[in-house]
Chain A
Amino acid sequence: MMEPAQQPAMVLTPARVSQPQSEAPASVTVIDRTLIEASGARELYEVLKLVPGMTAVKVDGNVPSVAYHPTQARDQRRMLVLLDGRSQYQPGLSRVSWNAMPVDIRDVERIEVTRGPAAAAYGANAFSAVINIITRDPRDISKSGVTVQGGNNGIRDAHLVGVRQLENGALRASVSSRGDNGYDEPFEGETLPDGKRIDTLNTEWVWDADARNTFTVQAGGSRSRLERQQEAGVADIGEYQGDPVQKGERAFVSLQWQHSFSRTHQLQVHTYGQYNQEITDFEVCYLDPVTGQTGPGGGLFFSQELRDLYLQNGSDMAATFAAFPSDADATNRYLTLQGAGAPFCAGSELDIQEVRYDLEIQDTLQLTRWARLVSGAEIRHDRVQSDSYLGGTQDNISYRFFGNLALDVLDPVTVNLGGYWERDQISGDHFSPRAGVNWRVLPGHHLRYVYSEALRTPDIYEERANINIQAQTLSPPFASNTQALLGWAPAYFFVTQQSPGTFEPERIRSWEAGYYGQFSALELDVRYFQETLTDLLSTALNPFEFEPSNDGRVNHQGTEAQLSWRPNVSHLFRVTGSHIHTRTNVKTEQRLAARDAGSALWSWQFSPHWAFSSAYYLSNDYNDNVFERADVQFRFRHRAGPTELEWRAVVQHRLNGAPVVFAENDYQQDRMWLGVTVRI
């Protein structure tokens, strides 16, 4: 007899418990490997276009923005992403870096997306949705393989996976490299730097110690090099000596122990540590504020006196420049700088290091035949070090307790009750509840109602920001005579910001009524929802614009549907759609909120060796720009002795001339690439 922990689960994510999709207290979208392959996606984030209500586009050059019921264009703050149970939500700047995620799309077995707040199961920041990425279990991979692919726009990808089946387990190691040149250029006659190169390592070892104990060890990391565009605020007062480059490094190690006490009682202990570092270097020769030309007067921007003047003027740049001619200390500094006789150039960096240690214990107990309880506790230590954003190191330790109870009170009715209590050093105590009812009306037809509340706690940057951009390198003679020429050493950019540290968590209340059914060859999920987001930190919090406010509000109301149809073994049709009305008191919270969005995918295996798939994506609109694209893929699989080869050709074709969200994201030329995978 199989242990319950080994028994199948259709979805794992919504309530942390193995349960059929029809009984889950949320709408769930599952993207399995078949769908991932049919989509033709090169990068992991792209397949999330297949989720109704989800936006997955590169908003900021080469940085993907993935958000469910999105609001702000560059916003990654309001959704939790799990990779094999490890939170990819980075506390330093409240973001999820899809580029640096240490996994390749070919290593992914399945993605479960819980659409709707799930803080009752995962705590703060499981705000609008949870994306749970599950990599391939090495026990389920039969062959090692290598993939190479290349195409236009500098597409150069490679992936190597090695697998070894052991007596009581298996081992997998994957390395990959991918890169491209980003959006099309030139834009308004200029080259926009948005190319990238990302290398990843992902390893997993599974050991079935005995029938009741399984250990899983995972380790890996990534290295990224992203070309970044020049910061407009800096470009206004200086000349970049080269485009900025963001270099990232990430590493993780994870240990999981699953123990089965009995058929009705299981325990899981999961601990992991992860490290992330990102450094963006840039070197600028600053313009003399009087002449507008590069010169020694540019050193004023890194002078003690201009910093003082900036603070006296309430951190208002325009007021600072207006006051400069009449400020004696600043003008004296300017005159002193003229004696340097050489242009002022400074090299700076935006740096951040984030370390997380996490220990979680989860207990699953079948209380009775009709009641099952998942409960647990978690302790997490986040440490963020950043001279430029925080002026040092900040720590946040959080303690969490959670419980989810699934009750089959009457045979066709399942009730899910869940709650998550947490305390962290920055935001204090919070509780997130959820209740759901699922009613099996007929075999294969289910109705559900779910109410949930969630919150997003302010990140360490939002609460502890202390922005100071230091001149790491200086041109001569400023390097050797910093104190005398700039008034302080080391020298800092005159702009500085400090968070008031009084933010309240962002909150969401959500309810949905939904239907999930399987009939004939169709699988259909439909939901109507209303979401109220309050206390939003909607305004800019960057070095040049820092407007702390908790006053943002957003209301989402709409309908989503996903439909799969398999008329026969050769064809799969899949359609998703969403229609959302978004109302807000802050205009920027609506930039990425598309009123109508959808996807359609058709996969056709038209011979034992050949397969065709095509996808269509529409979002109307992002920031007044309609996104419309069609993808086509052909695959050819054959054997050559003991080797299996798979060739694939993919074309992505934009169907309109609009840019992606912002004007500089120009995408006029089709993307196309050819790849081959060899499995041995």
Chain B
Amino acid sequence: MPYPVFKDNREFIKALEVNNDLVTIQQEVDWDLELGAIVRRVCEKKSASPYFKKIKDYPGFEALGAPLATYKRLAIAMGMNPDASVPEISNEYVRRTTQEPVHPILVEKKKAPCKENIWLNKDADLLKLPGPMVHDGDGGRYLATWHFVVSKDPETASINWGMYRQMVFDEKTMVGPVLPFSDMGKMFYGKYVPKNKPMPFATVIGCDPLSGVAACAPSPIPEDQFAGMLMGRPVELVKCETCDLQVPAHAEIIIEGEVLPNIKIEEAPFGEYTGYRTSPREPRTVYRIKAITFRNNPIMTVSNMGIPTDEGQLLRSFSLGLEMRKLLESQGIPITGVYMLPESTHHLVVVGVKPAYSGIASQIANLVFGSKLSPWFTMVVVVDHETDIYSKDDVIHALCTKCHPSRGIRKYEQAPGTPLYPFADPEERKWSRGSQVLFDCTFPLDWPESDLPIKVSFNNVYPKEVREKVLKNWKSYGFKD
């Protein structure tokens, strides 16, 4: 069943405007830091998305900033009530993504807006696109901050869409980290590099919002099908100009080329999702381009990684947490939910569980730390079913009162990590080594009932009739809330 979602970025922009979640900026804005500074402030203040109509030096190009940096925008993208709660959005996301995969369909080039303009060979010049200098001190202009890279497994033909940041090096070259445990990393370093073969790629900028969400999701389902599941209808794809990859027909800008197996060049530093500029400038994966295709008056999409909350933090937290929820439910663990706080820059996951047996928190930690999701987070907080996992107040209270400072904390050493961890030492960053920790915030089952601390709250320590009386008379007592 199709959901009331958007076929492209332009329909989504209109929906943001209708929902008073868009600021259209008519005055010219400089791609060199000014645009990035606006988007950064928007993320920090949780303001409406900025829609830039005039970009200095680049007439005809526009940009949308912070396209999905709030749950409200995610709800709008999903075609839901903009005021839907996080649990409501989560449940709907899980419902849609546990049904049958929806395969994409191929459309003719003449029906694909992303083919309205085609730059090939010498005309394909990355610096003719308004890639912003996002933060002062970045290693270059990042054309791809809210986008995805399409690649194909040479053996299985499986398609991958993933968000791999890309810095413009020169007219024909982009560079960025492709971590070896990522889907594209396993494909490129495991199957193309050993044969010294370049890997075709296509970077998609300004896609419909749910294709972007799908590209962020660490699901085992190919993202071009996952996006269809979120939309309730097939994604329309079109064939690339220079290779057999397929890209969303309604995207704003497509960059085609090859990932080179035999060379690395320096990339970074960059303001990253952790809120720091952490990973070092070092030799990274090289993309050489062959073609650029784009819609008339293309609209770039620009995310600005930094302190919370940007879309990387919000959507990665959202989808990582929900993939963990699916994993734990598939194993029959009696969880009440999983929530990853965006403010933790998806480093901390909260799992609610009915403590049905001893060691359940360790079992949860072993499962999630043992999954392919694990390099992206470091802390698991397991709380009981009476704790509201979506409430920071509740979770902090449980963490500080139920987690034994010695017995309740278990460390997991020698785990895979990323070079982006601000707390890691230089050697750990260099080798992507991590550590992880479990905070068990459940009371042990072997404590006698008479020894169990009783939570003291309005809902817990007053009889029902007293609570009802207080609630009924609340305003008459003089309270306004």
The reply to whether chain A is a binding partner of chain B is no
